[in-house]
Amino acid sequence: MTDKSIESILTEQRQFPPGEDFAKAARYKQADLDAMYASAAQDHEAFWAGLARELLDWSTDFTQTLDASAAPNYRWFTDGELNVSANCLDSNLAERGDKTAIVFEGEGGDRRRLSYRELTADVCRFANALKAQGIEAGDRVVIYMPMVPEALIAMQACARIGAVHSVVFGGFSANSLRDRVIDAGARMVITADGGHRGGKIVELKAATDKALEEGCEHVDRVIVLKRADCGCAMQDGRDIWWSDAIAGQADSCEPVPLNAEHPLFLLYTSGSTGKPKGIQQASAGYLLYAKLTNQLIFDIQEDDVFWCTADVGWITGHTYVAYGPLAAGATIVMYEGAPTYPDGGRFWSICQKHGVTIFYTAPTAIRALMKLGDDIPAQYDLSKIRLLGTVGEPINPEAWIWYHEVIGGERCPIVDTWWQTETGGIMISPVPGVTATKPGSCTRPLPGIDADIVDEEGTPVDAPDQGGYLVIKKPWPSMLRTIWGDNDRYIETYWEKFQNRYYVAGDSARRDADGYFWIMGRIDDVLNISGHRLGTMEVESALVAHPRVAEAAVVGRPHEIKGEALFAYVVPKGDRPTGDDAAELAKVLRNWVGEELGPIAKPDDIRFADNLPKTRSGKIMRRLLRIIARGDEITQDVSTLENPAIIDQLRGDA
């Protein structure tokens, strides 16, 4: 074992092959997948060109598949033309015009259904409204909305006329919105008076007004949807109601044929360091990959009802709500509100009510719902669900097993899907009718995705279970094209580490003896304890496996002798212990981790809290936890915290 390897000491032996019935009915069978791997291995470009022609409707066919002349700024299908919205809507009209495209449920219980025909008409009306407001191809439009159908309609309308949208998650503050509006140089903001979240109204228009107070002179129009009826100021000459903007607009709008590389959207990643990066996606490659992965990973078939719980403010809500499932002709569910409003059964009640067959959510949600107990999901009929998915962070085996048993009734495959905002779509994942799964592993790279694990020098790590850098060695169609306005940062962040040869994901991973990938966390979450590199996720997983632990986050703090010491924040099940009880439980847990993983993984410090600091998207704010673990002054903006009051507990002051 060299000091450059990232050691893995977590071993998970259980395996779950797909059920026979599932495998038989699945879109992609073993033979299909084998053929895809073989074809991609034989000719990477021809593989993607074939899929692009098979899956997409082009207005002009392409003659060049991949342009690598400006690598690592790769370009795909460079001289082809198509329209993304036409591929998501118009392409479905003949076959399934009356099929439900969107089933919407508001937090307050209001419901709507939109057929493909109705959705197309709504998108066209709004696209015409955008044009009437002077929006042209290439203009940037920021969308800051609640999770309602109009958010998706606005995105699709932009795509229809070639405007470049940048959706900003409605949970972000006015300041975050301002940064993104300025960076994108947006001409327009589309928002709502407010949205419903956790029984409260989030006043989006008020936040928009505040955001636009400074430095946003390039925004000359704000379109405002009336959603929450909470009243808001309207600025004369700048603001216009959605209903007024579409009044009198035709319900058809010719989709504009756009170059394959035309930017489809910018999406800012909430980077843990520095200012957010505007990840720029192109049209055709993104659409191709979105459609393909919806079919391949989610096995979308004609009668399915697909619910991906992500907000359209995140990449998951782009690829697996707003674009991919529609391109695949699916019925999707959209839900406006919080997963636990009015109670912890809301997700399951939606699944029951709308007959959800495919359910895709994040481990953080799974753990939160698991913590509420098995009797809640037991009250609902979840028997229609046939496939489950997770994304966003490594899922600890305990949560995986709970998901499998309690939600999936032990009959549903679970697809643990690894990808990133930058990759545009799922990269490493089981194919549900084919791949035997292992709890906690995202299994194998998809056909055409050349993922590998390399060491500090960029040499592939072939020995099983040795960790390293997760890299992608060949370009793929839905890769980010650049960081908006900062191509140097694009190259520096994703390519420079290995001399522009590989895309560097920033995650560490290991591969087991079966070739299965196990994501160990972000590179900067990897600790060096007494010369042993250790993924924090593995320690977290061990902690969560203890019956008294609901959730855990582990960070490093500097340690004189060991280099780094492990600092664990633990959310206990039941009441939070204090004083002697806390010391006693900490000792139990330290020993437990020692037993599970080995003595080097024993946390030096364990602190108990009622919950963990998370961003609005549910990601644990590790940087903040590291600062607290070191006892440093908190200078970072904590305004995006779900629960700012938690800081004192984490510091050990409460």
Binding site for ligand WT7 (CB under 6 A): 269, 315-316, 391-394, 416-421, 442, 505-507, 519, 522
Whole-number minimum distance, CB 512 to ligand WT7, in Å?
15
Take residue 12 and report the two structure tokens written for it: 């998970």
Whole-number minimum distance, CB 92 to ligand WT7, in Å?
25
Half-sphere exposure of 172 (CA within 13 A, CB side): 26
Whole-number minimum distance, CB 459 to ligand WT7, in Å?
22
Whole-number minimum distance, CB 508 to ligand WT7, in Å?
9
Nearest residue (CB) to ligand WT7, 221 versus 616: 616
Half-sphere exposure of 203 (CA within 13 A, CB side): 9
Extended strands (E) in 12-99: 66-67, 75-76, 81-82
**Segments in 464-535 forming alpha helices (H):** 487-494
Nearest residue (CB) to ligand WT7, 352 versus 443: 443
CA 572 to chain centre: 27
Interstrand relation of 414-417 and 387-391 (parallel, antiparallel or unpaired):
parallel
Nearest residue (CB) to ligand WT7, 316 versus 357: 316
Three-state SS at 124: helix
Nearest residue (CB) to ligand WT7, 242 versus 418: 418
d(CA 154, CA 163): 10
Nearest residue (CB) to ligand WT7, 279 versus 589: 279
Whole-number minimum distance, CB 112 to ligand WT7, in Å?
27
d(CA 75, CA 84): 17
Whole-number minimum distance, CB 399 to ligand WT7, in Å?
12
Whole-number minimum distance, CB 542 to ligand WT7, in Å?
16
Nearest residue (CB) to ligand WT7, 86 versus 279: 279
CA dihedral 224, 226, 231, 232 (to 10 degrees): -10
Take residue 359 and report the two structure tokens written for it: 């359910």
Nearest residue (CB) to ligand WT7, 418 versus 569: 418
> 58: left (phi > 0), else alpha (psi -120 to 50), else beta?
beta
Half-sphere exposure of 48 (CA within 13 A, CB side): 25
d(CA 322, CA 312): 7
- Beta bridge partners of residue 113, listed in sequence order: 103
DSSP code at position 461: -
For residues 326 and 54, the answer to whether their CB atoms sit within 8 Å is no
Whole-number minimum distance, CB 429 to ligand WT7, in Å?
8
d(CA 520, CA 406): 26
Nearest residue (CB) to ligand WT7, 124 versus 461: 461
Q: What is the number of other CB atoms lying within 10 angstroms of the CB of residue 633?
A: 7
Burial class (CB in 10 A: 0-12, 13-18, 19+), 626: middle
Q: Give the N- to C-terminal CA distance of the chain in Å, as an integer.
A: 42
Nearest residue (CB) to ligand WT7, 84 versus 315: 315
d(CA 139, CA 163): 5
Interstrand relation of 549-559 and 532-535 (parallel, antiparallel or unpaired):
unpaired
Residue 111 carries which side chain, given as an amino acid letter?
R
Whole-number minimum distance, CB 391 to ligand WT7, in Å?
5
Nearest residue (CB) to ligand WT7, 88 versus 505: 505
Whole-number minimum distance, CB 337 to ligand WT7, in Å?
20
Nearest-5° angle of CA 616, CA 619, CA 621?
Answer: 95
Whole-number minimum distance, CB 393 to ligand WT7, in Å?
5
Nearest residue (CB) to ligand WT7, 169 versus 592: 169
Whole-number minimum distance, CB 551 to ligand WT7, in Å?
16
Whole-number minimum distance, CB 100 to ligand WT7, in Å?
26
Whole-number minimum distance, CB 190 to ligand WT7, in Å?
23
Look at residues 198, 201, 194 and name the one whose alpha carbon lies nearest to residue 232: 194
Look at residues 413, 407, 419, 450 and name the one whose alpha carbon lies nearest to residue 432: 413
Take residue 606 and report the two structure tokens written for it: 């364990």
For residues 563 and 533, the answer to whether their CB atoms sit within 8 Å is no
Nearest residue (CB) to ligand WT7, 318 versus 354: 318
For residues 190 and 143, the answer to whether their CB atoms sit within 8 Å is yes
Give 411-455 as a 3 state SS string.
CCCEEEEECCHHHCCCCECCCCCCCCECCCCCECECCCCCEEEEC
- Beta bridge partners of residue 519, listed in sequence order: 509
Whole-number minimum distance, CB 293 to ligand WT7, in Å?
11
Nearest residue (CB) to ligand WT7, 208 versus 421: 421
Nearest residue (CB) to ligand WT7, 170 versus 345: 170
Nearest residue (CB) to ligand WT7, 113 versus 626: 626
